[in-house]
Amino acid sequence: MRDHLTRIAIIIGMVAIVFTLTKLMSPPEMDAEALAQESADPIAIMAETADAAINYAPAYAALNPYQTAMTQSANAQFDPSDDYWGLPRTPGHEETAAYCAACHTLQIVMQQQQTSEGWDYLLDWMVTKQGMAEPPADTRALIHGYLSREFGTDASPE
């Protein structure tokens, strides 16, 4: 009888543990408005600001076995042998390299081609959703201006 009660207590304890772990690992519940804003805003903003043309040529240039290394580096924007990986040397390139390359390659930055609003959204998104360190306001403005000027699609970049 005692063994039977011990087994029941162990089973009840295991069920409680599984239930608690399931609750801890499930995403927090959100109201319908917050859920709609969370899921719709990034897609809508990216759709409005994105340039629909995708240029795969620079990304696949390194895969061409018939192209020499000299030709590749002369035609490619992204240059891994360069200290700043091919970023144009205008004001803001060092700050942009420091903040962006902390998490990913600068090739991703160089191929984005966003509007000024798109770069603004992406900088906010990187801080709030991806864990990028929040740059001081003047540094953020410098990075935003650099990205809009060098990799923007606006007719009159900042």
Full pLDDT tens readout for the chain, 158 residues: 778 788 888 889 888 888 787 777 776 665 666 655 555 566 666 667 666 666 556 555 555 555 544 343 333 365 666 666 778 888 998 899 888 888 888 888 888 888 899 999 999 999 998 888 899 999 999 999 999 988 888 754 44
Cα four-point dihedral sign 124, 129, 130, 135:
positive
Query: Which pLDDT tens digit goes with each residue over 35-62?
Result: 555 555 666 666 676 666 665 565 555 5
Residues with Cβ within 8 Å of residue 115, at least 6 apart in sequence: 49, 148, 152, 153, 154
Q: Which of 123, 155, 125, 114 is nearest to 141 (CA)?
A: 123
pLDDT at position 43, please?
A: 63
Residue with tokens 């606006």: 154
